[in-house]
Amino acid sequence: MKYRPLGRTGVQVSPLCLGAMMFGPWGNQDKADSIRIIHAALDSGINIVDTADVYSGGESEEVVGEALRGRRDDVFLATKFFMPMGDDPNSAGGSRRWIIRAVENSLRRLGTDHLDLYQVHRPSADTDVEETLGALTDLVRQGKVRYIGSSSFAASQIVEAQWAAKENLYSRFVTEQPPYSILVRGIEEDVLPTVQRHRMGTLTYSPLAGGWLSGRWRKDAASSPTSSARPSARFDMSSPENQRKLEIVEELALLAEQSGLTLIDMAIAFVINHPGVTCAIVGPRTMEQLASYLPAASVSLTTDVLDRIDEIVAPGVTINPDDNSYGAHELSASARRR
């Protein structure tokens, strides 16, 4: 597996990142099997693992921690904070108070004394970015965190965070984790160019669009999500947007077949072939799923295939707005004009 630079950090990572959201009650409840999947991913050459405290209420981190015993130094380990971790209103968000608690909880569950990458899971509508960056900078200086990153930040929020870090001499976000797939191309318009300008690494999630590009959802056999973590609106087959996605999947499946590829190979390769993408996060629930993802790491798409994909889904377009991770706060009822 060929490795890539993670922005300007000097770190080299694999083009596929193992996402751990499916390890635990949200997906695979067999801990031993989940550990076998993690070991198989590492044995294949994947050297970066991404999880979050909220995944299965912390159980994902525990599974990852157990799997990495004896192999911790071989892995670039990333996790995230921000989402609610209980009923306490202060057990969430980007405040200094919560970050200091959250990192200790994650370190304990992961069985390690440091995180290679600590990411804020979402931007905060009610917390100054300086508050978040200041706390994260202290963790870097204490040696508990090596690098910090953001997830699902809009381009303007990325720029604001970079400016705040420079202005206050804080550690800066060196990575961004946005959604990206053939069906969800919104980041091509602004986020990816912004990340490239700031020389950040990009860990994109959901390259199969939540399973839509795995071949599981087809016009003659529309299925349903296997994880309770997936928003139901993304899989409401009565919506015009999802009906359009089913039509597009048929066109993409035909293109993949004509190109001698599986739909999965083409979908993941599309993501990691973008010059602004460092790696695609793949989140297998089973060993079979992992095996189906791995070949994409060595697939290069021809210009003809890429041009045809652009004809099917135009650059910068997200087919179903429910697949978008942006605008949740900005478009809430309290923030709108009316």
- Domains of the chain (ranges, CATH numbers): 4-323 (3.20.20.100)
Please name every residue paired with 218 in a beta bridge, in sequence order, or none if there are none: 221
pLDDT band at 237 (very low <50, low <70, confident <90, very high): confident
282 phi and psi, to 5 degrees?
-110, 135
**Mean model confidence pLDDT for the chain:** 93
> pLDDT value at position 236?
82
Based on the residue annotation, tell me whether 293 is a catalytic residue of this protein.
no
- Kindly state the percentage of the chain with pLDDT values over 70: 91
3-state SS, residue 327: coil
**Residue of higher predicted confidence among 327 and 315:** 315
pLDDT tens digits for 96-138?
A: 999 999 999 999 999 999 999 999 999 998 999 999 999 999 9
Query: What pTM did the predictor assign?
Result: 0.93
C-alpha distances (whole Å) from 237 to each of 33, 146, 212, 222, 314 are 32, 43, 12, 8, 22
Selected catalytic residue, list 55, 147, 170, 205: 55
Measured between alpha carbons, how far is 196 from 161 in angstroms, rounded to an integer?
15
- What would the DSSP string read from start to end of 16-44? EEEE-TTBSTTSB--HHHHHHHHHHHHHH
> pLDDT value at position 143?
98
- Kindly state the percentage of the chain with pLDDT values over 90: 87
> pLDDT value at position 332?
65
